[in-house]
Amino acid sequence: MISALRSSVIAITAALIAGSAPAADIASFQPIGFSADGKVFAFEEFGIQDGSGFPYSNIYVLDLEKDNYLPGTPYRVRLDDEKATLAEARRQARDKAEGLVANHGLADHPGEILAFNPITEIDTNPHRLRYRDYAVIPPVGEPDTLTLEEIPQAPDDRCSGMVEKMAGFRLRITEEDGKPADLLIHEDQRVPASRGCATGYRLAGVMGGAATDRSPFKVALVMVLSLGFEGSDGRWIAVPVKAAP
């Protein structure tokens, strides 16, 4: 009796998981690296598109001084074939980016993941990360804290009637080297069209390193949650961590 009940529960659970898995298109994240001077950063996001089931891979290469993409990027690949593999989409994207990655030596400077907060994490604050700048034991220096605030906005013409609200975000340093701070890193004036119908955000990680002159650099990883075909889509953006003038 117990075995039969347990088997039924397992079967029902498996069916629920199987039925719900395609409804979420939360892209995976893979860092590629920084240039030696810390001025360029590249990463890949990849996954299976909800609705279509098509594999995709996007590689972003950012100029961290200008807070903008390098010319000719991002590199985007989507294979419009349900039989196509994710590995093939990723290979094609990597092939497109190979020259730029090599020219900037990005694979030679992978950087450090200083904090990471995936959407599967339950017990952490999705809008706050507290971390140290160096991956050493015993620890060196005092913590920094990044805080993300969502900025509600009315849906634009593209998204009106599809979502009740849209959102931009504001990013601040609220603790620096263990001391209270209030330094503005980024603030949206409007939601860029590239984010789709963005409805929320998650402060998903921090990466950093040191340039050849030993000056430190960091980027915040932000997950954009937007209206998808069968639920919320999750895509990644990187924000240079330096105080706004």
In this structure, what token pair is assigned to residue 78?
């989507």
Q: Which of 4-13, 40-49, 79-88, 133-142 is predicted least confidently? A: 4-13
Give the residues across from 10 on adjacent strands.
none
Q: d(Cα 88, Cα 85) in Å, to the nearest integer?
A: 5
Q: Are 188 and 170 in contact (CB under 8 A)?
A: yes
Q: d(Cα 26, Cα 189) in Å, to the nearest integer?
A: 25
Q: What's the pLDDT score for residue 165? A: 93
Could you read off the pLDDT of 65-110 as tens digits, one per residue? 999 999 999 999 999 998 999 999 999 999 999 999 999 999 999 9
pLDDT at 5 over 50: no
Per-residue confidence band for 155, with pLDDT thresholds at 50, 70 and 90: very high
Q: Are 118 and 82 in contact (CB under 8 A)?
A: no
Q: Which of 19-23, 102-106, 185-189, 210-214 is predicted least confidently? A: 19-23
Per-residue confidence band for 147, with pLDDT thresholds at 50, 70 and 90: very high
Q: d(Cα 50, Cα 202) in Å, to the nearest integer?
A: 20
Number of Cβ within a 10 Å radius of residue 245 = 4
Q: d(Cα 32, Cα 100) in Å, to the nearest integer?
A: 11
Query: CB under 8 Å, gap of 24 or more: what pairs does 72-75 form?
Result: 72/100, 73/97, 73/100
Strands (E), the chain: 25-26, 28-34, 40-48, 55-63, 68-69, 75-78, 112-116, 128-131, 144-153, 166-176, 179-187, 198-210, 216-227, 232-240
Predicted structure pTM score: 0.88
Q: What's the pLDDT score for residue 212? A: 83
Q: Are 244 and 237 in contact (CB under 8 A)?
A: no
Q: What is the CA radius of gyration of the chain?
A: 20
Which of 143, 96, 151, 120 has its CA nearest to residue 29? 120
pLDDT at 3 over 50: no
In this structure, what token pair is assigned to residue 46?
């990849």
> Where would I find the H helices in 62-216?
86-103
